[in-house]
Structure 1
Amino acid sequence: MEQTPHDLRQIEALLDFYTASGVDCFLGDEPADWFELTSRQAAERAQSPAPAVQAPQGRPPRQPDAPAPAPAPASRMPAPEAGPQARQPAMAPATAQTGAFGQPGVLPDREIIEAARDLASSAATLEDLRQCLEAFDGCNLKLTAKRLVFADGNPQARLMFVGEAPGRDEDLQGKPFVGRSGQLLDRMLEAIGLDRSSVYIANVVPWRPPGNRTPTPQETEICKPFIRRQVELVKPDVLVFLGAASAKTLLGVQDGIRKMRGRWMTYPANGGEIAAVATYHPAYLLRSPLEKRLSWRDFLAIRQRLNTNA
């Protein structure tokens, strides 16, 4: 059966997801019990001498430990001592696991979300917020993304756009909306007399999910304090949500984009309210060009709202 361009794009996205996740071999025909294999490897490591570990600067190297006895039952095993890193969940949470490419990952929990809120609220400027995100290790998407996709445009702009998450092109360049959907967004802005120097563009999630998959609710919840603080620091007159995902995250609404688009709402920030509206994501318009007429109406309404509040 002949493959269509759509099928090829799906295959490319799947292979991209496997590569970003660290897959470096073919999958077997038979299922593997990874829990059993992990338990077996842990028992083998406990039976063999541990190699010497290179100590950080200023500390003497640690010698190999004596062979460990067989693991005791879980109820008798002492809890590991919490070190300095374990008391800083924003930088290196205690609930860690191995992520792609061997970096330590984290298990998202309420402690991580609270750490993200504290870190985001501490940022006094957009540059502070960028540095906070660069240092934040509480989101596993950072392990597979090539770089942080913070924002693009004018931080003093009256109009701010918020999407859901960056894609492949954005991940490579470190800027939001620079691929095909970003080029369409530029043309839409030009149609109402604007460009990137007169708007500010960001995403709810600043790291690309592997294979351009949808961010999980946990990933979105961890990143939400940072985009909220970003909106507060920009202080736009009009906030535009590109797609339903960003509107649902920041406004807490549950309507689909067809019902939500073109309807003016308010976003609470800095003790006041910001005029907000949702419109179709440019990526959706590339797949459904007939809907561009509705987005054109939305952009005309956005221009009118800016002129009214000028």
Structure 2
Amino acid sequence: MSARESLHDSLAAALAWQIELGADEAILDAPQDRFATAQGAAGASQAPAALPAAPPSTSNRRAEARPPEQSKAGARPAPSASAPIDGADAEADATAIAATANTLEELAEVMRRFEGSDLRLGAKNLVFSDGTPGARVMVIGEAPGAEEDRVGRPFVGRAGQLLDRMLGAIGLARTAPDPGEAAYITNVLPWRPPGNRTPSSAEAALFMPFLMRHIELAAPDFILALGNTPVQALLATTTGITRMRGRWRRHEASGCLVLPSFHPAYLLRSPERKREAWRDLLALRAALDGAPVAPE
């Protein structure tokens, strides 16, 4: 057995062991675009995985001597030289780009082209929004999950089904044509983080200019902020959702009234908190019906 065959068998055995333990998704420090080209996906199944850099050997020299199209078969295209942009430069770029959008359609397009975050490299679809533009209520969640990434719409998995039932309980629906009976739904992040992890504060800050422009163009009366990420990003606080929920706040930049509440995914894990979420929904319904709101 050659050294390459031995290495292949060892790697295959290690992979099988991880699968048996329940690992079903590879997560790296940075996302990889595994959907870049069909050719890349096909080549990956035929060529052995790239090895870490090692001292030159006879086999390495033979590989280097092969033509580029053979030695790099199935390789993923390198990211654009302008992606990602780091830190403050990326946030400044996001602010300038978001300001150029004059419609929701334009905003979705500039977000799709924005190269300041490498999250886009590991996602299948931009998840921009769902529901009725112009609705009095704008629902803002954290980030897309696997199902949302596949479909390209926010809140379509189990948490989305629960959200639809919650909104329906107070007479709202994302499909309602009447803005007074509709909900318009989006997330802080438009791209799925690897492994459905919680967005980092840096990622939320990077996409905030787009969210601010989104709120301006959608022009809601009320924002239902679901979970820590949107609440802390919108209200510039580090206080957790457990203490923030049910307490009206005013979003200074837009003037909208913000009601923090639990994310439906959290309610699926902690059904005992649904009673508090129901109180929040009743408060939102009362505000829609004209009850005075005194933000803290």
Name the % identity. Answer: 43
1:163 aligns with 2:173: no
Tell me if structure 2 keeps the 8 A contact 1:17–1:212: no
Q: Identify unmatched segments of 5+ residues in structure 2.
A: 1-18, 35-43, 46-50, 70-74, 177-181
Tell me if structure 2 keeps the 8 A contact 1:159–1:239: yes
Tell me if structure 2 keeps the 8 A contact 1:176–1:202: yes
**Shift of residue 306 of structure 1?**
0.8
CA distance in 1 between counterparts of 2:155 and 2:88 reads: 31
Q: Which residue of 2 aligns with 1:150?
A: 128
CA distance in 1 between counterparts of 2:84 and 2:141 reads: 25
Q: Which residue of 2 aligns with 1:281?
A: 263
Match runs of 1:1-310 below 5 Å: 11=22, 15=25, 17=27, 21=32, 37=53, 102-104=78-80, 105-196=83-174, 197=176, 198-270=182-254, 273-308=255-290
Structure 2 length-normalised TM: 0.72
Tell me if structure 1 keeps the 8 A contact 2:122–2:194: yes
CA 1:22–1:123 in structure 2 vs 1: closer, same or farther (change >3 Å)? closer
What amino acid maps onto 1:249 in structure 2?
A: A
Encode CA deviations 1:3-33: one digit per residue, 9 max, x unaligned: xxxxx9x945x615369647989xxxxxx9x
CA distance in 2 between counterparts of 1:181 and 1:249 reads: 21
Helix, strand or coil at the partner of 2:260: strand
Encode CA deviations 1:172-220: one digit per residue, 9 max, x unaligned: 1100000000000000011111111301000000000111112233322
CA 1:175–1:233 in structure 2 vs 1: closer, same or farther (change >3 Å)? same
CA distance in 2 between counterparts of 1:141 and 1:130 reads: 16
What amino acid maps onto 1:129 in structure 2?
A: L
Tell me if structure 1 keeps the 8 A contact 2:31–2:119: no
CA distance in 2 between counterparts of 1:247 and 1:222 reads: 15
Tell me if structure 1 keeps the 8 A contact 2:141–2:187: yes
4+ residue segments displaced more than 4 Å: 22-25
Q: Identify unmatched segments of 5+ residues in structure 1.
A: 1-7, 26-31, 54-98
Q: Which residue of 2 aligns with 1:4?
A: none
CA distance in 1 between counterparts of 2:135 and 2:159 reads: 21
What amino acid maps onto 2:168 in structure 1?
A: E
CA distance in 2 between counterparts of 1:15 and 1:144 reads: 12
Q: Which residue of 1 aligns with 2:179?
A: none
Say how many residue pairs are matched: 239
Tell me if structure 1 keeps the 8 A contact 2:31–2:118: no
Tell me if structure 2 keeps the 8 A contact 1:108–1:218: no
What amino acid maps onto 1:174 in structure 2?
A: G
What amino acid maps onto 2:256 in structure 1?
A: I
Encode CA deviations 1:257-288: one digit per residue, 9 max, x unaligned: 11100001001234xx2111100000000000
